[in-house]
Amino acid sequence: MKVRLLFFQSRPEIYILQYFMCAYNWVDDGDDDDDSGSMDNFKNLSKLQLEDQLSCFPQKRSPKREEALSSIVKTLNIKPDHEFMDENSITLLYQCFKVMKKGSAKELRLATEAIGLIAMVIRCPDKAREVYRDSVPALSKLLKTKSNDSKALLHSLAMAAFFTADIYTDETEQAMLLIWNFINPDCSMDSSRHPPAILAAAISAWCFLLSTLDGWRLSYKYWQGAISYFSDLIANKDEKVRKAASVALALIFETNTLEKFTTHESVTSEKQEEKNKIIDKLGSQSNDISNVLNYFKEGNCPDIYVEIGEYEVTLSTWSQIIQLNFLEQFLGKDGFINHMMENENFHELFELLPKERPPPANMPFISEREEVTVEFYLPRILRAKPHTSSSQLKLETKMTKSPNSLMSKTRTKFLNKQRAISQQEKAISCLAVDD
């Protein structure tokens, strides 16, 4: 809302006070209070439900814990409650750790997903630091032993590092290294033993974290030979592995720090040669990686436009495309839309801007400009040296600054009206997404 206040003298004896207000909303003459109340009830119910389910964790019976975990995961997918998470994140995190140590396979999967959601929703910086310090080592340890749940653990580890790592340190790269040690054939764990789906998930998680880093922050000692490794995977029989490897190569070239991913000493002379080799390998494959092939040939990342509710998202780099795809894969389509609409961390990540849209057909339009004019008469008094008398000052103050003045009452009435409009608009947007 924009407000402009003018006070001027049109004639010697007439003062006119004008108050301009501009608003950019539509209003439904129907159930404003009912809809606003229903949204408040939903928020309160969501938080109460989460707190109630959190209290079920001390239960010794596995079905109760499993039911509580499932309910928490579903609720956080529908409504990312920042307030609840800032208050209860550490409690929920340690309850998840307990479940992961002695729970069933389903409990382990739900607990790892819950940890990813904790990192995704939390807003308190101090709590986020604690989530990183505790969750990343625990998930990494489980990744070495719980082979049946590797995909869920990889996703959760990537989410924890992506949202809670300190960007001014090497914490993100350390999490990348944990994933790299999982897939790199030179390490003790042979990547050829991983099923194709797990290998593709590991590469995608590694790329997801790489997409957050500037090239100059990367270490020279960790990633030597990465280009050669991913190039070999382009010929893999599995389509998911081929796609993940080709996107990883595109992201590496986008960082423009090829010297950190290759063993060649003369990077400038070898860059085009490496690119030509990749083009040859990509060209021999099916059309499922044609967008990556076009990137290496033309040097341009495909622009992708996504509309989510009232927001428009433009993806013009491989980093952005990888981030959106990975988050959508973790949350599912409906959960991803809910977080794009409600999660403040997503708003900052994608720099969301509301798109322009016409008013709903069933809502009358409210004018963008309302004007209130107050006129009052003051007798003209000729003076040798014009000045403002004390009575005139008192009258001006009474008309403009007094809480009981017409001006103040009009302003209060207008602001209350705009507040109701804003609440109605937000309620309608949320209901439209749910439909």
Whole-number mean pLDDT of the chain?
77
Together in a domain, 183 and 291: yes
Together in a domain, 189 and 66: no
Together in a domain, 111 and 53: yes
Instruction: Indicate if the pLDDT at residue 25 is higher than 60.
Output: no
Together in a domain, 43 and 160: yes
Boundary (domain end) residue, out of 139, 164, 189 = 164
Instruction: Indicate if the pLDDT at residue 406 is higher than 90.
Output: no
Together in a domain, 269 and 208: yes
Q: Give residue-wise pLDDT tens across range 78-112.
A: 888 888 899 889 989 998 898 888 888 888 999 99
Together in a domain, 20 and 98: no
Global model pTM greater than 0.85: no
Together in a domain, 142 and 77: yes
Pairwise CA distance, residues 219 & 184, whole Å: 17
Question: Which sign does the torsion angle of CA 121, 123, 129, 134 carry?
Answer: negative
Share of the chain above pLDDT 90, in %: 27
- Residue 239: beta bridge partners? none
* pLDDT score recorded for residue 38: 40
Task: List the one residue out of 109, 53, 33 whose CA is nearest residue 330.
Answer: 109
Residue 422 to residues 26, 131, 262, 355, 429: CA-CA distances in angstroms? 9, 35, 54, 17, 11
Domain that holds residue 349: 301-359
Q: What is the mean pLDDT of residues 55-72?
A: 75
Together in a domain, 153 and 249: no
Task: List the one residue out of 248, 258, 161, 260 whose CA is nearest residue 218.
Answer: 260
Q: Give residue-wise pLDDT tens across range 177-208.
A: 999 999 875 654 444 578 999 999 999 999 99
Strands 2-11 and 14-22: antiparallel
Boundary (domain end) residue, out of 164, 197, 224 = 164
Together in a domain, 18 and 33: no
Together in a domain, 175 and 140: no
CATH number assigned to the domain comprising residue 149: 1.25.10
- The CA angle 357-363-365, to the nearest 5 degrees, is 75
Together in a domain, 240 and 354: no
Boundary (domain end) residue, out of 112, 146, 164 = 164
Together in a domain, 176 and 247: yes
User: Count of domains in the chain?
Assistant: 4
